[in-house]
Amino acid sequence: MSSSGERRRLIVEADGGSRGNPGPAAFGALVRDPDTGEVLADTAEALGVATNNVAEYRGLIAGLRAAREIDPDALVEARLDSRLVVEQMSGRWKMKNADLRRLAVEANQVFPPGRVTYAWVPRVRNAAADRLVNAALDGTMPAADRVPGQVDEPEATEPPNRLVGWAAELGTPTRLILVRHGQTALTAAKRFSGSDVEGPPLDDAGREQAAQAGSALAGGEVAAVVTSPLLRAQETAQIIGARLGIGVSVDEGWRECAFGNWEGLTFAEVGERYPAELAAWLSSTEAAPPGGEPLDAMERRVAEARDRVLARYPGQAVVVVTHSMPVRALVRLGLGAPPQALFRMQPAPGSITEVHVYADGTTSLVAFSRVL
C-alpha cells in the first residue's frame, strides 16, 4: 500500500491456448503498471494436453499470483480476450464444468474478495500475453529463462480478426432472436414504461407490428418462444407464437427495468422533477431511479435469463420477446461495449435483434433493430 494509504493498482494481462482443444496447451501472463505501461513481471508455461478454457484459467491464476508477488495489497484489473473466463469470474455466467469451477475457486483465492475486477479485451490488445503462450508452446522461450519486462509490445500492424461465424471450430451457435414488444400508448408517447406495472396493452399499431414479426419469422426452425411476463410482451409473444405454431413460456428475467417514480413520465418531465437523480442515472449504471432498479441489476438478471435459454436450447433458435433495456443489455454484453453504450441504442417497437452465442461464450451481433 502506498504511503498515502491508497492501494496500488496493477493490470494483469493473461491468455491461454490449446492446439487441438484439447491438445498441447500453454498459458502466458504479465503484470503492467497502469500509469507507465511498464511490464513488471511475466510468466509462461506449457501445460501438456489441455483445453483452451483450462489454459485460459491457468493463465489468469498465474497472472494474479505474479501480481500478488509484486504487491499483495494491490487492486488488480485482469484483462483477457476470453469472454467465457471474464463473464464467469464476474459472476454473470454459470459454471457447469467441474474443472473450470475448481480453477475459478483457485483464482478467487489469490486476492481477497473485491480486489480483482475483470475486463474483456479484443485479441489484438492481448498480443503480449498471446506471444508468451506461443513461445511456451513452441519451446522458444521457456518460462524459467524469461526476464521480467522482456515482452515485446504489439506490432503496429494488427493480426487479422477471426471472422465470427466463419471459424469452424466455434461450432453451431444458439440463435437468440430478440423481439421488442409492439407499440403501446406509452411507447408512442415516449414515456418511461418499466416493470413496476403489468400494463399497458398493445395498441393497434403494436398488434400489427407483432403480426409482422411473426410473419417474418415463420418458416424458420424455431425451438421455442420465451417472453417477459409484462402484458405488452405476452401479447406480442402470443401473436408470434400463434403464427409459428409454438406455445409461449414466461421467464421473469426478461422483464423491463423497473423505473420506479419515473413510470409514465417523459424524459423532459423526469428532468424537471428529478434533475439530480436523472443526472446520476445517466452517469452510472449503478444508480437507480427513485424506487426503481439499477441498470446493472437489470443486466445481471437478463444475463441469467439468457443463460437459461442457452442451457435449455443449445445450438437452436429461440425467439425472446422482451423490452428495450434487455435488448440493449444483451447487445452491450455481446459486443463487450462499455456500460454507457446502453444509452446509445434504441431498438424500435416490434423490431428484431439477433445475437448468436457459441459454446465457448463467443458472441456475435447478426442484426439490430430490424424493422419489418
Which amino acids are annotated catalytic? 181, 256
Q: How is residue 106 written as a grid cell?
A: 483457485
Q: How is residue 120 written as a grid cell?
A: 474483456
Residues 6+ apart with CB under 8 A from 315: 171, 172, 173, 174
**Strand, helix or coil at 228?**
coil
If we measure between CA atoms, which residue out of 356, 357, 352, 350 comes closest to residue 368?
352
Please count the helices (runs of H) and the strands (runs of E) in the chain.
Answer: 11, 11
Handedness of CA 297, 299, 304, 308 (dihedral sign): positive
- DSSP letters spanning 250-265: E-GGGSPPP-GGGTT-
Contact 355, 262 (CB under 8 A): no
Contact 322, 181 (CB under 8 A): yes
C-alpha 188/C-alpha 217 separation (Å) is 24
